Structure 1
Amino acid sequence: MDQDKFIGGTDTTSTLLEWAMSELMKHPRVMKKLQEEVRREVVGEGVIIFEANLHNLEYLKLVIKETIRLHPPVPLLPPRQLMQDATIMGYDVSAGTMILTNAWGIGRDPSDWGESPDEFQSERFLQTKMDFRGQDFQLIPFGAGRRCCPGISLGLAVVEVALANLVREFDWKLPGGMRGEDFDMSECVGLTARRDLPLLAIPTIVSARRPT
Structure 2
Amino acid sequence: MDGRRASAGTTVQFPLERLARDKAAWADPDEFRPERFLAGGEGAGVSLVAAAGSAGEIKMMPFGAGRRMCPGMGVAMLHLGYFVANLVREFEWTEAGGDMAVDLDPQVRFLNVMKRPLRAHLAMRRKTR
- Indicate the structure (1 or 2) with the bigger Cα radius of gyration: 2
* TM-score for both structures, normalised by structure 2: 0.50
TM-score scaled by length of structure 1: 0.33
Structure with the higher strand share, 1 or 2:
2
Flag the structure with higher helix content: 1
Select the structure with the greater relative contact order (CA < 8 A; seq sep ≥ 6).
Answer: 1
